[in-house]
Amino acid sequence: SGSSDTIIVSADFNNEVVESNETNNSRTNIWTAHGGGTQVRIGAPGKVSPNHDFTVDVKINDVQDFDAANFDVSFNPAVLRLDGVTNGYMGNVAVPIDGWNVREPGRFTIVSNVPGLNGVSGNGSLAVLHFHVIGSLGQSSNITLSGGVLSNIQALEIPAVWLGDFVEVGII
């Protein structure tokens, strides 16, 4: 418990199965908790159809006094094409997109800003990404977030964990 846990998974724990190597019967991983606080993550559908459109929410959770965001979204440009970025929403408050620009094939910078001085708190989305599938059956693409900065109503950075997701081109 705490910020991380060590998990050990074992097969043939009592060494009852005769093997040439008895030292490889378990695996240990340390799982680190991301803890509470603000989280920004891609909400992808998992499986997408060839030559079809789909949307992805850039979700935000547990934010206080949010005012603005600036982040990069990246994906495999041989599999996906980003056709548009539209406003996110936190409750009934729009999170307008001030701009989205291509940095290189498969990487875009997105900027959003809540109008006024009050900001917004809670859960919702920073943006909605509109993709078109150009890849073939069996191809896949990560959709990742990087370089993200969230600002509050005092223009101070809001610490956040940024998480991506994955889509596979398949038959739905």
Give how far the C-alpha of residue 133 lies from the chain's centroid of Cα atoms, to the nearest Å.
Answer: 18
Candidate from 5-19, 21-35, 81-95, 152-166 with smallest mean pLDDT: 21-35
Residue 84 has pLDDT above 90, yes or no: yes
Q: How many other CB atoms sit within 10 Å of the CB of residue 26? A: 11
Residue 8 has pLDDT above 70, yes or no: no
d(CA 150, CA 113): 10
Please say whether the dihedral angle defined by the alpha carbons of residues 77, 79, 83 and 89, taken in this order, is positive or negative: negative
Quickly list DSSP for 110-148: EEEE-SSSS-EEEEEEEEEEEEEE-S-TT-EEEEEEEEE
d(CA 29, CA 22): 19
Please say whether the dihedral angle defined by the alpha carbons of residues 170, 104, 127 and 148, taken in this order, is positive or negative: positive
Number of H helices, E strands in the chain: 0, 14
Annotate 130-152 with b (16+ C-beta within 10 A) or e (fewer). ebebebeeebebebbbeebebbb
14-61 tens-digit pLDDT: 677 777 665 666 655 544 444 568 999 999 999 999 999 999 999 999
91, amino acid identity: G
Residue 133 has pLDDT above 90, yes or no: yes
Q: How many other CB atoms sit within 10 Å of the CB of residue 9? A: 9
55-82 tens-digit pLDDT: 999 999 999 999 999 999 999 999 999 9
